[in-house]
Chains A and B, each alone.
Chain A
């Protein structure tokens, strides 16, 4: 059974077809990269999978269970969490609060107004663990809005993995980072995605071929290839459609 499976997914904005019948299968436990030229519809596809947008047609399944048209929080509760291309954090909350908010639901505290949040040892422990992993523990008291760009990107990942989701979707996590920052981020992603299923959009080819078990190529709303890195590299169709023009 696939971890994430899309069959015949299409999305129209008005009369414009952005996603034109995508079939995609992400295996359980693999690191799967999504590449493709700008405007191919990669982020739109993420929005469809995570429930931010509703597909016009087709079905999306998570572990075989249909999630098409569910609200983002319903999908999140089923174990899928995503990050955003444009940093999407809680700017006035402290770094600590940002991660803690991401941890709360999965630990079962839900809408509780009868627990003192500071005395929840399990929540504090998990929050601290995440902050240590994303290397922001010493910044925990700062409002998230004042962090540097790279720190906010790291926090974005921290919020995404905070709830311990099985399926992680990362939308260009290294966008706008310097070489060193990107390398650091990739190491972090590698560590955090261990034992989980990762679907990642990435423009940096060295990152993609280094990290991914399999790669899917999205061009003008269609997946033209989905295979192991070596085969993608040598695929003529991919080279013509994408790698060739990008190089």
Chain B
């Protein structure tokens, strides 16, 4: 075998086969997890949460086809999500009205085609520019569609939006899709297919040229590619997947309104992708899961949850610009060298300090919120089940001590983290050279 052919068949060597098997195994495990998750949770709340996560994973990954893969910062990605949702609701209502023999599980595809269509239409304009100009155009298009949603009442249904009934379509295997469990499976299967498809897309000539265009727009032009067309294709395909996510959301909620296409929805997907990390394929998945969870859980705990959410985002941008997946990947070499456990004590210490600080900050925020917006309820409030009066001095002192003390405690723990990191890295290097 010539050396050239050898590398070409590198993927088929012994370790290659193992790697390939592992890669497929990862997908099988994921599929199994998706299907068995409902068995682990029995509450209907868990199904609702898991359904939302599935939708938001597709949406965030479609967003990252632009931001992470092709280097396009969009402020209007909800347009394709929302329009996908609206088209699906209209399609469902039309199908129900005319008793057409089309089952519900195909509806997300309608959303995808709608997203693709609007991606092609708007993308043909906006992808002619990159960088800041593209970001501005996407913002403008987002505003345009969001304001149309309130004007074109017959299509968007004004402020109330448009409702539908997912149980009225043709039934297959006697699934009504009334219970949330069945909707969960629908979302889970579509989510799995979309994640697989978007992952596969990164490993195609187009997927790689998207990365090339992101890295160096001009150079791509000199190796035969029209980088604007690469951006346009990425944009259209991203619209397709966003439309599927929007269609699933429409099925899940049985209502679509103007908030689907709005700036807040566009902002949330940006935050999810960024917090998860745009540099890795898994990043937006992690981000989507976390952000959905925070949206649901935090909004139960506190009324000013968006403030915490914003603080998290600012914190990530400042201290971990590569997102959660970036942080995880940073630890990968230590994991492989089996020295990751060396970090645990130092991390626990820093975590304790961080929690003290966080508690103080949170107490300050909650007290300020109570003082400024709930004057009618009187000065009594409770924090972590401890009742107290915001007019007394003590809770403010406690909060200040927690914040300042936590901060200094954290500062003290940091050298330990750095030290532990350093030692672990040295061990990992030794391990690397020994192997």
Given the contacts A71-B226, A76-B223, A101-B223, A109 and B215 also touching, CB distance less than 8 Å:
no
Considering the chains assembled together, what is the distance between the CA atoms of A131 and B218 in angstroms? 22
> In the complex, which residue of chain A has the Cβ closest to the Cβ of B220?
A101
Please give, as numbers and ranges, the residues of chain A lying within 8 Å of B200 by CB-CB distance.
116
Decide if B205 touches A104 in the complex (CB within 8 Å).
yes
A77 close to B (CB within 8 Å): yes
Given the contacts A111-B230, A159-B219, A101 and B212 also touching, CB distance less than 8 Å:
yes
Decide if B4 touches A125 in the complex (CB within 8 Å).
yes
Residue of A50, A114, A117, A121 near B9 (CB, 8 A) is: A121
B172 close to A (CB within 8 Å): no
Given the contacts A109-B205, A125-B8, A73 and B225 also touching, CB distance less than 8 Å:
yes
Considering the chains assembled together, what is the distance between the CA atoms of A102 and B226 in angstroms? 13
| A-contact 0/1 string along B177-210, CB 8 Å cutoff | 0000000000000000000000011011111110
B319 close to A (CB within 8 Å): no
Whole-angstrom distance from the CB of B219 to the nearest CB of chain A?
A: 5
> In the complex, which residue of chain B has the Cβ closest to the Cβ of A96?
B7
Considering the chains assembled together, what is the distance between the CA atoms of A106 and B219 in angstroms? 15
B219-268 interface with A by 8 A CB criterion: 219-227, 229-230, 233, 237
> In the complex, which residue of chain B has the Cβ closest to the Cβ of A169?
B222
A240 close to B (CB within 8 Å): no
Decide if A113 touches B225 in the complex (CB within 8 Å).
no
Decide if B11 touches A111 in the complex (CB within 8 Å).
no
A58-78 interface with B by 8 A CB criterion: 71-73, 76-77
Decide if B224 touches A77 in the complex (CB within 8 Å).
yes
Decide if B222 touches A93 in the complex (CB within 8 Å).
no
* Most B C-beta atoms less than 10 A away, residue of A88, A113, A117: A113
Whole-angstrom distance from the CB of A54 to the nearest CB of chain B?
A: 14
A166 close to B (CB within 8 Å): no
Whole-angstrom distance from the CB of A119 to the nearest CB of chain B?
A: 7
Considering the chains assembled together, what is the distance between the CA atoms of A88 and B201 in angstroms? 26
Given the contacts A89-B216, A129-B4, A110 and B205 also touching, CB distance less than 8 Å:
yes
> In the complex, which residue of chain A has the Cβ closest to the Cβ of B200?
A116
Decide if B211 touches A105 in the complex (CB within 8 Å).
no
A91 close to B (CB within 8 Å): yes
B5 close to A (CB within 8 Å): yes
Decide if A88 touches B4 in the complex (CB within 8 Å).
no
Whole-angstrom distance from the CB of B235 to the nearest CB of chain A?
A: 13
* Most A C-beta atoms less than 10 A away, residue of B11, B218, B225, B233: B225
| B-contact 0/1 string along A111-150, CB 8 Å cutoff | 1111111111100110011001000000000000000000
Considering the chains assembled together, what is the distance between the CA atoms of A76 and B203 in angstroms? 24
In the A-B complex, the 7 residue pairs with the smallest Cβ-Cβ separation, listed nearest first, are A105-B224, A90-B215, A113-B206, A124-B8, A72-B221, A109-B205, A121-B8
Which residues of B come within 8 Å of A, CB atoms? Answer: 3-5, 7-11, 200-201, 203-209, 211-212, 214-216, 218-227, 229-230, 233, 237
Which residues of A come within 8 Å of B, CB atoms? Answer: 50, 52, 71-73, 76-77, 81-82, 88-93, 97, 100-102, 104-106, 109-121, 124-125, 128-129, 132, 159, 162-163
CB<8 Å pairs between A and B, sample of 5: A90-B215, A90-B219, A91-B215, A117-B203, A119-B11
